Chain A
Amino acid sequence: MTDPIEPPHGTSTHEDDDELLPCGRLLSRAWADWEDQARDDRSRDGEAGDAHPRNCPHCREAVRGLDELESAVRGLRTETAAADSYDSEPLTRRIMDVVRLELRPGRPLPLGEPAEDLWIMEAVAARTLRSAAETVPGVRAGSCRLRHVHEDGTVEVRLDIHAPLGVPLPDFTERVREQVRRVADRALGMPTAAVHLRVTDLLPPTADDDREGRTP
């Protein structure tokens, strides 16, 4: 179907569903104008370039159904709004119950003396070390990998952190490294050969950081 008056807008992508209005415009065009108009009204108090949709009785008639639909849509939008009120606790619990039952392939790491035959999964050790790093106020820990298990049972830790802005990094990272080393050694019984830190972002400190400097 083609529009003899304005070819650029006349070719319908809606095929047999479209309709030619008595004014020569396609229904799809009138509705698209209505949609653009609604957007323009919101953004710049509606000074639309094309006066036809406002003046043409056929186009105005064609969008009346849409205006009416819109008021029902507003009602349904309100009725189905859940983003601010939904209590996600029960659903989170349901989901996490399944997640915790699933076995993730992971790497076991040796703990203690070789003769002890004691192991810990890398993901569990990593979680403990991230928490250790976060006892230093302002730290948010990201990736934590435990690599290179040495003959003597020591491991190398690679940890990414977000650090607070405006804090001298050498001192700061040394404190983080010390915490990680201490917890690895005492809580896990896993002495570290090295703790490699990578600061991946600097963030403005939050009020929480002053209040909850959790020192074990």
Chain B
Amino acid sequence: MVGAPPDTRPDTDDALLVVRAAEGDEDAFAVLVQRHAPALIQLATRLLGTRTEAEDAVQDAFLSAWRRLPEFQGRSSFGTWMYRIVTNRCLNVLRSRRPTAPLEAVGDVAAAEHSTSPARITEGRDAVRELREALDLLSAEQRACWVLRELDGRSYEFVAEAVGISQDAVRARVFRARRCLTQALGAWR
């Protein structure tokens, strides 16, 4: 591994590194950061939409983890723990982005007849760009649930734990997000 911190072997498993980091070993923590950052950056980029915001969120999440490590009991893996911290950090960022909730307005549009043959969505870059823009129409919670489920391919059970709500609530949010997105993409053509 390029630039691996000294004194810590790159193949040391997470559980050992977590114990060391909790005892104040910064080098062990650096290995954890380097190891888990790429997956967490991917998650945060999907949740927030830009790489810069994603990097800030992941940095905040790791710093919060460093401070809380002594209390981390290892009930889940370090990766899952970080996934939750990053998801929550991103949720807060998304919530602070929109002081008003356009959700109701979007819901009204989405409640219009879906079954009257939605316009075909063109494949390719345009559709992807439209989808990216349409994600901004979702509420923070809908977006988080939808991203974890659809882009990250997580189970409803996993999403429920990561977001801290019931599986039914996750299903409801993913359903609403899908209504909103199909509507937005269908209306575009």
Question: Which residues of A pack against B, CB within 8 Å?
Answer: 13-14, 16-19, 21-22, 27-28, 31-32, 58, 61-62, 64-66, 68-69, 71-73, 75-77, 79-86, 88-89, 91-92, 94-96, 98-100, 102, 104, 106, 121-123, 126-127, 130-131, 134, 140-145, 160, 162, 206, 208
Contacts and interface: CB of A to CB of B under 8 A. Distances in A.
B25 A143 contact: no
B118 A65 contact: yes
Given A86-B38, A86-B41, 9 more contacts: A19-B111, A66-B182, A73-B131, A80-B151, A92-B33, A130-B7, A130-B25, A142-B19, A162-B16
A143 B34 contact: no
Nearest to B125: A75
A127 B128 contact: no
Contacts of B123: 71-72, 75
B172 A13 contact: yes
A208 B38 contact: no
B42 interface: yes
Interface string B59-98: 1001100110000000000000000000000000000000
A96 B23 contact: no
Contacts of B33: 88, 91-92, 95-96
A98 B107 contact: no
Contacts of B62: 95
Contact of B11 (A61, A69, A208): A208
Contacts of A88: 33-34, 37-38, 41
B121 A17 contact: no
B41 A14 contact: no
B185 interface: yes
A85 B176 CA distance: 32
Interface of B is mostly: helix
A17 B168 contact: no
Interface in B141-181: 150-151, 168, 171-172, 175-176, 178-179, 181
Contacts of A76: 128, 131-132, 151
A68 B121 contact: yes
A127 B128 CA distance: 49
B38 A130 contact: no
B23 to A, nearest CB: 6
B150 to A, nearest CB: 6
Contacts of A65: 114, 118, 121, 182-183, 185-186
Contacts of B23: 123, 126, 143-145
Nearest to B130: A72
Contacts of B39: 83
Nearest to A206: B11
Interface string B11-50: 1110110011001111101100110011101100110000
A142 B181 CA distance: 48
Highest count of chain B CB atoms <10 Å: which of A13, A14, A91, A96: A91
Contact of A14 (B67, B117, B172): B172
23 contacts: A14-B172, A19-B111, A22-B115, A31-B178, A32-B171, A65-B121, A65-B182, A73-B131, A73-B150, A80-B42, A81-B42, A82-B41, A86-B37, A86-B38, A86-B42, A88-B33, A88-B38, A89-B34, A91-B37, A91-B41, A92-B34, A126-B24, A127-B25
